[in-house]
Amino acid sequence: MRVSTNQIFRSGTESIQRTQQELSRTQTQLGSGKRMLSPADDPSGAVQALQFRSGIEKLDQYQRNGQMLEQRLRSSETVLTSVVDGLQRVRELALQGNNGTQTSETRGFIAGEIRQALDELYQLANSRDANGEYLFAGLRSLTQPFSLGAGGQVEYAGDAGQRELQISAVRTVALGDSGSRAFMDIPNGNGTYFVRDDPGNQGTGVIDAGSLVGPWVPGDYSVVFSEADGQLRYEVFGAGDPPASVAGPAAFQAGEAIAFAGAKVSIQGRPEPGDRFTVASSENQDLFATYRQLAEALEAPVSDGASRASLNNAVNRALGDLDQGLGRLLEVRTSLGARLNTVETQNRINSEQSFQLQSSLSAVEDLDYAEAISRFNLQQTALQAAQQTFVQVQRLSLFNFL
């Protein structure tokens, strides 16, 4: 086959250009550190890389959610720890104020400290996180949850909802707790029923918080005292018109159990005929009201046995309500701790999965530098050889010998 000079020239030029392109591609790979410069280099690898990147981006978002959750939950836990410390101090003050050695003046000082604790509780309940959102407002995180209403009562402006954040493909965690659950909707008394002395009582009877001796029969009951044949007697009436007798009448003995409707209470001291005590199903009461009522009870004057009994009953009632509030706060803190552990565990899992995906992505698209450098040297040598031979062949013209 006849090979023309032009054909030799064109073939040599194409060979040099092809080798230059390969050398340039290898140089670009070395500069970028990537094996695939375009999807055409490895279509299946490009699809895998896209999937790996998508998975890494999702895990990164889950990690950001987890970090936000952890910060928020730790802030809530810190606030609740302070609230529990304050509640335990108020409980100590209640016992101190109920001591018979206290005077009206010292009880006033104790009540003042309780009111300071009430103000601190109010401030803590309105705490915010680092983003300025309220911790205990439910879904209405930009609205101040607690405000002072008429008569010093605290009103709740949040809701009972819980925001949730996704920390994995299959797991979501609540961002916080509503203020209604933590501070407002707390059953009073012993959690099943509460006891209360009548404001008009004239005797020295002091009723305890009571306990259950059987299934509680919900309702409103009154323990009413009367005198017959010179003997103090009691009778328990249920709600109704006229009220129905559910226990008694029976002779009263101080400290002796009075059982009815699945409940058992005892009364110390000596009630007067006409005195009465209420025993009714527990109702929700906010922690702010418990503090306020305790302070008011300690501020009331004590001048005789009846007023002393009224103070004792009020303090006993407050102690029961404080215990219910403490139980609720501990429930919320336990829930917070469990969620915090969940977030920490999932964050660790997400980090490990992200590392695995990044390793897989690296295996698909990252360059093997040792192989690429060797290839670059070979291509560089090939280019130099092609250029030198081209020059030599170009000189082989017939005109050079004429």
Return the SS3 of 138: coil
Tokens, residue 90: 């108020």
Q: Is omega for the bond preceding 249 within 30 degrees of 0, making it cis?
A: yes
Q: Give long-range contacts, CB 8 A cutoff, 24+ apart: 346-354.
A: 346/62, 346/66, 346/167, 346/168, 346/171, 347/63, 347/66, 347/67, 347/70, 347/167, 349/168, 350/59, 350/62, 350/63, 350/66, 350/167, 350/168, 351/63, 353/55, 353/59, 354/56, 354/59, 354/60, 354/63
How far is the first Cα of the chain from the last one, in angstroms, to the nearest whole number? 25
Q: Is 373 a residue whose pLDDT tops 70?
A: no
Assess if CATH 1.20.1330.10 describes domain 53-188+320-354. Answer: yes
Query: Is the model's pLDDT at 224 over the cut of 70?
Result: yes
For residue 2, pLDDT over 90 is answered with: no
Residue 79 near residue 176, CB atoms below 8 Å:
no
pLDDT confidence tier of residue 150, bands split at 50, 70 and 90: confident
**In the prediction, which pLDDT does 274 show?**
96
Query: Cα separation of 81 and 87, whole Å?
Result: 10
CA gap 164, 149 in Å, rounded: 31
Residues 6+ apart with CB under 8 A from 291: 90, 114, 115, 117, 118, 121
Contact 300, 110 (CB under 8 A): no
Q: What is the pLDDT of residue 55?
A: 87
Provide the pLDDT for residue 149: 86
Q: Where are the beta strands (DSSP E) in 17-102?
A: none
Q: Return the pLDDT at 358.
A: 81
Which pLDDT belongs to residue 307? 95
- pTM value > 0.85: no
Residue 279: per-residue pLDDT: 97
The region of weakest confidence among 44-53, 174-183, 377-386 is 377-386
Cα distance between residue 323 and residue 288, in whole Å? 14
More confident residue, 112 or 2: 112
Q: For residue 231, how far is the Cα from the chain centroid?
A: 57
Residue with tokens 């977030």: 343
Residue 41 vs residues 44, 103, 368: alpha-carbon distances, Å: 9, 91, 15
Q: What is the mean pLDDT of residues 6-22?
A: 64
pLDDT band at 384 (very low <50, low <70, confident <90, very high): low
Beta bridge partners of 86: none
Per-residue pLDDT, averaged over 79-103, amounts to 95
247-281 per-position pLDDT tens digit: 989 999 999 999 999 999 999 999 999 999 999 99
> Per-residue pLDDT averaged across 101-121, rounded?
95
Is the confidence at residue 383, as pLDDT, over 90? no
CA distance 340 to 349: 14
Query: What would the pLDDT profile of 239-248 be if each residue is shown by its tens digit?
Result: 888 889 999 8
pLDDT at 94: 96
Mean pLDDT of the chain: 86
pLDDT computed for residue 400 by the predictor:
56
Taking Cα atoms as reference points, which of 153, 223, 194, 176 lies closest to residue 284? 194
Please name which of 27, 23, 29 lies closest in space to residue 380, comparing C-alpha atoms. 23
* Residue 327's pLDDT band (cuts 50, 70, 90): very high
Strand partners, 267: 207
Side chain identity at residue 210, one-letter code = G
Work out the angle between the directed axes of helices 287-299 and 305-365 (0-180°, nearest 10): 150
User: Percentage of the chain with pLDDT > 90?
Assistant: 66
Residue 36 has pLDDT above 90, yes or no: no
Q: What's the pLDDT at 42?
A: 59
